[in-house]
Amino acid sequence: MLAATEPGVATITLMACTQLLKTTVIENILGRFIHIDPCPILVVQPKDDAAETFSKDRLAPMIRDTKVLRDLFGDAKATDAGATLTHKQFPGGHVTLVGSNSPTNLAMRPIRLLCCDEIDKYPLSAGGEGPPIDLAEERQAEFKTNSLSVRACSPTVTGRSAIEASYDESDQRKAFVRCPHCEDWHPLEWEQVRFDKDEGGKIRAESARYECVGCDKPWTESQRLVALRKIEWRQTRAFTCCGENQVPERWAPEAHGVRRALCLHCGAMAVPNDHAGFVASKLYAPKQTIRETVAKFARALRRGPEALRTFFNTQLARTWKEGADAPDWQDVYTRRDSYLAGTVSRGVLILFGGVDVQKDRLEVSVWGFGRNRERWLIEHRVLPGDTNRAPVWKDLEAMFGETWEHESGADMTVRDWGIDSSGFTAEVYAFVRSQAGRPVHAVDGQDSYAAAFLGVGAKDATPAGKKLRRGLKTIRVGASFAKQELMGCLALQRPSDGKPYPAGFVHLPRDVTEDQVKQLTAEELVTHVTRGRTRREWVPIGGRRNEVLDCANYARGLAAMRGWDRWRETHWRELEGALGIERDRPAGLPEASVPEAVVAAGSLAARNLQRASAKRSRVRSRTTR
């Protein structure tokens, strides 16, 4: 609440557990502005009926029981146009309550104070016009210098939680308390809660205690309650100052309820406070003991993932990671290679292209594949244009004739092109037919975990329904398989000290954009239980676009169709020979003493080479005779 009057603060984010802070903060900020600093106010709830409930159960009782507010509003009557259930006027301003699903209500009048409650329940777009909070904050343009936006909610699912995203954008304040033993200050974290288990492995809630992160000494419940009497909110967001990335270790004296982070070198306040973010779990709740929290955790463990998710959201104020999450895009972005987009590294032996079709553009990715199941993003290109018209398809056709220079100096062409046919079927089929004789295919992505390549489907038939032998064929790609495989490969860490890359490593160019990496990691696997049946589904994270991911899946399906997963040593050597690449020879040995292929004796590759050599010998013998 002190942040509402802290100089410089324009946005407040409160990510808290249930029944602790959120509604009380909103009520007090509303009451403060109505009484002391009257202005136009907008309160946004998830739906219209929730706004009416807030008005009846929260706002009206607050006005009734607070004398200064009761005097300001007066005895409102039903016939008074200035005092309805969702719109109340007072001297100097008004308070309006709306649902987040109505773009008209969000944009109907200028406001200075915006209070958004339960924002994780808002729709991604209000009537197709954009995120509700963005629409509402546009109404603050007339009060740019002194407007305030307040957002409050318990978090939900990692990557799809609006309150988590808002807190990540803030200065990330945490509540520090003093240890009764070592007197060090630190925030209360769930990782420091300890408990014992019985012989059967069940949690003994009565053994629960909190241990200091500094001295490892346990706290009694009374010591925790005493520590809660004095809290210091400190900024914890990492920052860059004096040319060094730093995590806050020094803070300024408390002012306006917060201690600002200081640079270790110059002592400057390095973290801006325009967006004040707060987080609080049930470890800070004086009415719930550590034992009760651990008992709820043990019960959630017994009941399964859904109950555990509720525990993380409502008790710990943390997001819940569902199923097979995509790796963090920042982590993937930091593992970029040194090559530039449009160039082909030495390890690439064959190229495949994937095309995603949108209404106003085509998005094209060229991927390189090599040994050890490694792959490289060569480049991603956007071709703008209405896909119902010919020009954008002409641009795509021009790409079919392009070449990419390999590190060896050879020019490479794309072996196969795959175009998504799920959204604009007629246009894609017509274009693929026009490319007869070229390796251009219509791709049909399917929700299957069986394989990356699921076979070929025939689309053209006679009037009698018989499939035409030389008619249009579609390449059926197991999109779910390809996504799951790619997410696992993107999580692989770059080796150190010149060690070989792990099998399946995904290489990205140095100049790949952040947006492209976000799209590549744009989906996560979520498990739903409906009517007793479990269903796994890949869903976008936080409304991200996923065209780069789709293109990667199409290229992967084409690679599987051509046999990338099962190529033997002879095939790899043929590809390397076409590019003028020689296999590395062991150091210190003369060329004559090195075998043709560096393969393990007795392996399948060695036997294949022996059979190929024997076959060539028989052919030469017959030719001589």
DSSP string, 462-496: -TTSPBPTTS-EEEEEEHHHHHHHHHHHHTPPPPS
Q: Which amino acid is at 263?
A: C
User: Measuring CA to CA, how many Å separate 416 from each of 79, 352, 429, 438, 439?
Assistant: 72, 5, 16, 8, 5
The pLDDT assigned to 461 comes to 65
| CA–CA dist 181, 611 (Å, integer) | 76
Across residues 72-98, what is the average pLDDT?
Answer: 77
Q: Would you say residue 621 has pLDDT above 70?
A: no
The pLDDT assigned to 534 comes to 59
The pLDDT assigned to 532 comes to 54
User: Measuring CA to CA, how many Å separate 431 from each of 246, 418, 435, 445?
Assistant: 54, 12, 7, 18
Residue found by looking up tokens 């929290």 in the block: 293
What backbone torsions phi and psi does residue 328 show, to the nearest 5 degrees? -65, 130
The mean pLDDT of the chain is: 87
| CA–CA dist 216, 86 (Å, integer) | 52
The pLDDT assigned to 614 comes to 54
Q: Confidence band (pLDDT; 50, 70, 90) for 160?
A: confident
pLDDT above 90 as % of the chain: 66
Task: Quick: pLDDT tens for 117-130.
Answer: 999 999 887 877 78
The pLDDT assigned to 596 comes to 41
Residue in 26, 46, 161, 43 with CA at minimum distance from that of residue 102 = 46
Report which DSSP code applies to 258.
Answer: B
Q: Would you say residue 543 has pLDDT above 80?
A: no
Residue in 115, 110, 108, 68 with CA at minimum distance from that of residue 90 = 68
Residue in 427, 446, 453 with CA at minimum distance from that of residue 556 = 453
Across residues 480-497, what is the average pLDDT?
Answer: 88
Contact 35, 68 (CB under 8 A): yes
Signed CA dihedral, 25, 26, 31, 37: sign only: positive
Task: Quick: pLDDT tens for 213-261.
Answer: 989 999 999 999 999 999 999 999 999 999 898 999 999 999 999 999 9
Across residues 33-46, what is the average pLDDT?
Answer: 95
Contact 161, 260 (CB under 8 A): no
The residues, any chain, with a CB within 8 Å of residue 243's CB and separated by 6 or more, are none
Q: Would you say residue 533 has pLDDT above 80?
A: no
The pLDDT assigned to 598 comes to 43
Across residues 572-592, what is the average pLDDT?
Answer: 69
Q: Would you say residue 385 has pLDDT above 90?
A: yes
The pLDDT assigned to 593 comes to 36
Q: Is 612 helix (H, G, I), strand (E, B) or coil?
A: helix
DSSP string, 312-355: HHHTS---B--SSPPPPHHHHHTT--SSPTT-B-TT--EEEEEE
| CA–CA dist 452, 389 (Å, integer) | 31
Residue in 472, 443, 429 with CA at minimum distance from that of residue 557 = 443
Report which DSSP code applies to 212.
Answer: -
Q: Would you say residue 323 has pLDDT above 60?
A: no
Across residues 22-34, what is the average pLDDT?
Answer: 94
| CA–CA dist 97, 113 (Å, integer) | 12
Q: Is 97 helix (H, G, I), strand (E, B) or coil?
A: strand
Identify the bridge partners of residue 358 per DSSP, sorted by sequence position.
Answer: 361
Contact 274, 9 (CB under 8 A): yes
Across residues 351-373, what is the average pLDDT?
Answer: 96
Q: Write a three-state SS string for 378-429.
A: EEEEEEECCCCCHHHHHHHHHHCCCCEEECCCCEECEEEEEEECCCCHHHHH
The residues, any chain, with a CB within 8 Å of residue 404's CB and separated by 6 or more, are 342, 343, 344, 351, 366, 378, 379, 411, 412, 413
Q: Confidence band (pLDDT; 50, 70, 90) for 591?
A: very low
SS3 content of the chain, % helix, strand, coil (to 5): 35, 25, 40
Residues 293-325: b if buried by 16+ CB within 10 A, e if exposed? bbbbbbebeeeeeeebbbbbbbbbbbbbebebb
The pLDDT assigned to 336 comes to 93
When mean pLDDT is compared over 200-204, 505-509, 532-536, the highest value belongs to 505-509
Q: Would you say residue 603 has pLDDT above 50?
A: no
The pLDDT assigned to 314 comes to 94
The residues, any chain, with a CB within 8 Å of residue 334's CB and separated by 6 or more, are none
The pLDDT assigned to 460 comes to 67
The pLDDT assigned to 103 comes to 79
Domains observed in the chain: 330-570 (3.30.420.240)
Count of CB atoms within 10 A of residue 174's CB?
Answer: 20
* Minimum mean pLDDT range among 28-32, 135-139, 365-369, 390-394: 135-139
Model pTM?
A: 0.61
The pLDDT assigned to 320 comes to 81
Q: Would you say residue 595 has pLDDT above 50?
A: no
Across residues 574-597, what is the average pLDDT?
Answer: 60
The pLDDT assigned to 544 comes to 83
Q: Would you say residue 204 has pLDDT above 70?
A: yes
The pLDDT assigned to 624 comes to 41
Tokens coding 477? 């790609």
The pLDDT assigned to 536 comes to 74
The pLDDT assigned to 465 comes to 63
The pLDDT assigned to 497 comes to 76
More confident residue, 110 or 83: 110
| CA–CA dist 194, 294 (Å, integer) | 9
Strands (E), 23-86: 40-45
The pLDDT assigned to 586 comes to 41
| CA–CA dist 406, 343 (Å, integer) | 7
Residue in 289, 297, 280 with CA at minimum distance from that of residue 19 = 280
Residues 230-241: b if buried by 16+ CB within 10 A, e if exposed? ebbbbbbbebeb
Measure the CA angle with vertex 424, ends 422 and 430; round to 5°. 110
Q: Would you say residue 585 has pLDDT above 60?
A: no
Contact 45, 117 (CB under 8 A): yes
Task: Quick: pLDDT tens for 291-308.
Answer: 999 999 999 988 877 788
Q: Would you say residue 561 has pLDDT above 90?
A: yes
The pLDDT assigned to 531 comes to 58
